[in-house]
Amino acid sequence: MLKDFLKSLSIFYKIRKYIFQRQEGRRYYMKNVLTIAGSDSCGGAGIQADLKTMCALGVYGMSVITAVTAQNTLGVKSAVEMDKTIVEEQIRCIFDDIKVDAVKIGMVSNVEIIKTIRNLLIEYKAENVVIDPVMISKSGYLLLKSEALKEMKKFSSSSYLITPNIPEAEVLADIKIQSEKDIEQAAINIYNLGAKNVLIKGGHRSSETNCVNDILYDGNKFTIIEGQRINKTNTHGTGCTLSSAIASFLAKGNTIEESVKLAKSYITKAIENSFSIGHGVGPLGHLTELYKSSGMQYKD
């Protein structure tokens, strides 16, 4: 059985290597993507979800830890922020040695950490910066301090793309979202904060509709990224996964629209192949093909 597993694993990696290295006759060399985010002890969100996503999409993932959370599928129990000095040292170690093709920003909970990261991204002229403005966990735990909101708004100007969900967009745009027009106005307001592109995610739309379309705004036009609501309860880490997937596709040279559409396709498949590991909201199937090749059986 072990022999069969190792054989299937070898075939999987050979196929994936071929797919990712050859596209339209071009050879792709390894791209490096950095996640700056919090750690999730149960592995479904945060840097753990980011690194799984990056691995699945054929880029080399690196991490800077901003906070350590104690959480499981039932929710976040507590969190400890890293000192700004160690956050800075982690970032400098990466940029001083390694070419960074894209950066994903996740949980950055206080003013000093946000300022430190922002200044360093400017200093190192970081490219393809994707900010997921994490504010509150699915279980209701506050992940962004109220006094840091103003700094988060300033931080958005450092992004190539910012990816708020509807509740986060309401806070950043300072409006109540109740319609499609409100979403568009929120995107304009957030764009005016300095973000190059804004993606407002549709997962928090009313459950009465199956529409979970995302709205991408580049300062000139709105693009609808279509999606359908998937009847799955295991959706832990969807925001982290989407933003790190977009960063991965940007690192590989795709346009912003291509990257968002490819990431949407990836996360849809990951949600469809999500699974339970505890008594609450389980993780996505980040490495679905690898899981299946190992003999994993999915249960409804």
Active site residues: 201, 235, 237-240
Q: Are 37 and 106 in contact (CB under 8 A)?
A: yes
| Location of structure tokens 């400890």 | 80
Residue 1 identity: M
Q: Are 236 and 91 in contact (CB under 8 A)?
A: no
Of residues 286, 293, 251, the one with CA closest to residue 272: 286
- With a CB cutoff of 8 Å and minimum separation 6, the contacts of 258 are 249
Helices and strands: H and E segment counts in the chain: 10, 11
The one-character DSSP state at 199 is E
| Location of structure tokens 């129990």 | 77
Q: Are 172 and 133 in contact (CB under 8 A)?
A: yes
Residue 53 identity: T
